Amino acid sequence: MHEWALVDAVASAAETAAEQEKLKKVDAVVVVLGELQNVDRAAARRLFAELRKTKKKALHRARLEIRAEKAVFRCRACGKTFGLRDLNKLSHKESEAVHFLPEMAHVYTECPACASRDFEIARGRGIYVREIRGER
C-alpha cells in the first residue's frame, strides 16, 4: 500500500521530534490529511498502529489524530480561488495519479474561470504533522 510510506514518514518525523523535545512518551501525533491526496483515514490509523512499533519506545503508545483539510487552489493567471468540487470530474485513473502525486492536479485539471494550468495548491495538498503531544 502506498500510504505505508507516508505513515512511516510521519512515524519517523514524530520519533525525531520526540527526541528533540526530550519526550519520554508521545501521546498523540496530530497530522493533517489534505483532501487532494485522498489518503484513507482508517488505513492510515491501522498502519500507524503497526509502524509505531518499529520506532523508538517513546512512540509505542502514541495515537494518530487526523485532521482533514479541504483542497484550495488559487489561479495565478486570473486570481480565482476554487476547490476540488469546482474541477471537472477526474476519472478513476486520473484521481489515482493525483493520489500518488498531488502535483498531477496540474496535468488533469485547470482553472474553472480561465482554463489556466498555472494555479497554486494553496491548501489540502498532502500529509503533514501539525502537533506532537507527550510527556517529558
Partner 1 sequence: MTDPRVFSIGMRLSKVRRIIAVTGWKGGIGKSSIACALALALAKAGLKTGLLDADFTGASCHVILGARRSFPKEIEGLEPPLVAGVKFMSASFFSGGRAVALRGEEITQSLLEIFCVTQWRELDYLIIDLPPGISDASLDIIRLVPRAEMLVVTTPSVLAEETLRRSLKLFRAMRIPVAGTVMNMADRNGRAVGDKPLDRVPFDSGYEKTLGNPRALAASKLFKAVARLAAKLDAGMVRN
Residue 72: helix, strand or coil by DSSP?
strand
Residues whose CB falls within 8 Å of the CB of residue 55, separated by 6 or more in sequence, listed in order: 11, 12, 14, 15
Nearer to Zn ion, 80 or 133 (CB): 80
Binding region for partner 1 (CB under 8 A) = 1-2, 4-6, 8-10, 12-13, 16-17, 31, 93-94, 97, 100-104, 106-108, 117-118, 121, 125-130
Closest distance to partner 1 from the beta carbon of 68 (Å): 16
Q: How far apart are CA 84 and CA 72, in angstroms?
A: 7
Site for Zn ion in 59-118 (CB under 5 A): 75, 77-78, 80, 111, 113-114, 116
Q: Which does 111 bind (CB under 5 to 8 A by kind): partner 1, Zn ion, none?
A: Zn ion
Helix boundaries (H) for the chain: 3-20, 41-51, 92-100, 105-108
